[in-house]
Amino acid sequence: MKATYTLKRPSTKTPKLYETENEIEASETLIVAHYFLPGTICDWYVMEFDEENDLIYGFAELISGMGEIGYSSLKEMEELVVMSKMHMLGKVIEFPCHVEFDEHWTPRTLREVLANRG
């Protein structure tokens, strides 16, 4: 399926895949970008980026309490659409939600991210 929605990519200054491997404890790795799915608990925290293959490496939590470190495809994230419902003035409105790039993200360590997820 061809995506009709385009996600912003992490900065070109983002470490390449394996660049931070074995440098420090994973919990001290800097999270340089953040993606989220509005209205859900789905978050992707970026540590490294492979521009050629459109892959990010980092921490993702798609089910509460079940986060893990691994790889995610930005192309697949672009294709992800969740239909949300909103009740307004006695009517139910249904609309699509897409993964979004967090434009207001401030880099912080994975330890700090996890401490604030509560």
- Amino acid at site 53: N
71-94: burial string, b at 16+ Cβ within 10 Å, e else: ebebeebbeeeeeeeeeeeeeeee
Query: Is the distance from CB of 81 to CB of 21 less than 8 angstroms?
Result: no
C-beta of residue 75 within 8 angstroms of C-beta of residue 45: no
| pTM score, whole prediction | 0.88
Which pair of tokens denotes residue 2? 């061809």
How do residues 48-105 score in pLDDT, each as one tens digit? 999 999 999 999 999 988 999 999 999 999 999 999 888 999 999 999 999 999 999 9
Name the 3-class secondary structure at 29: coil
